[in-house]
Structure 1
């Protein structure tokens, strides 16, 4: 039985090979060439770039150099209008993040002078009861959470009661999970 299966597999491979060669011969008869498309060589790249900057079209350059328009676009990619430099950091917009702010921190922030965005974030926060206290579920951009954390910096000082210091540290731990806001620079 194994020999029968092996013979059937060999027959299938032979048939597939013949069909492939028939297809290649038919394509060659129609004038199509197989293989990888030609690319713009390093020697031609400078001339192609100069001609493109001189105003010659991509299609015209492709005809002159016997390559595809895609090959020309690849050679002049950094000169195209829609090109964004790879070195320029592209910052993604910060999406709002929901964090639980301890009630002692929220009470302190409500008693301080806040800007409009900070005040709106606190006003839209949802109070969640926790035993005798509460947490305020605040949805805001990570930068705004960092601003609010900086506003309650004085809770870490000697004048604050231990429960406030603990609450501020807890909020700081939650904000620190958001990551570093500065883009990384690799040297």
Structure 2
């Protein structure tokens, strides 16, 4: 890890006006000193298929982003009480890299925007996946945003100051967690 903590933001939503992608944009605008963020684009990532003899270009590009990342920030939509397929597919691809080298040991912040309870059920399911893959998710603070209570504009951008404050606190915790794990 360099002096700058490189965070890869991964949104599980493919929608252009996604509130989950909006959470990542808001987070990128509030990064503490010593952190930078890139975004993964999952739109061209094909479904994982172990029969593919060569990794498609979109998979290779995603792997390169993961190689450069010191930490991950996952924006986790909730589909049917679980992780959105785009996010799970990206994780499945990454987990097949030799020795799980792209994921194992990386610190992770999880946030999500959805209905009434935010994306709490999907986030807890995602934490189970993280355990298996030796990812190290933050325990606190958790960020569950209600996407339909006026905290986002029509383009998915965060307008609510409390959500922004929660994201800022989570980024500070991710920075401290990353430094501690680097230790």
TM band (smaller chain):
under 0.3
Tell which has more relative contact order, 1 or 2 (C-alpha 8 A, sep 6+).
2
- If the length of structure 1 is used for normalisation, what is the TM-score? 0.26
- If the length of structure 2 is used for normalisation, what is the TM-score? 0.26
The structure richer in helix per residue is 1
**Higher Rg:** 1
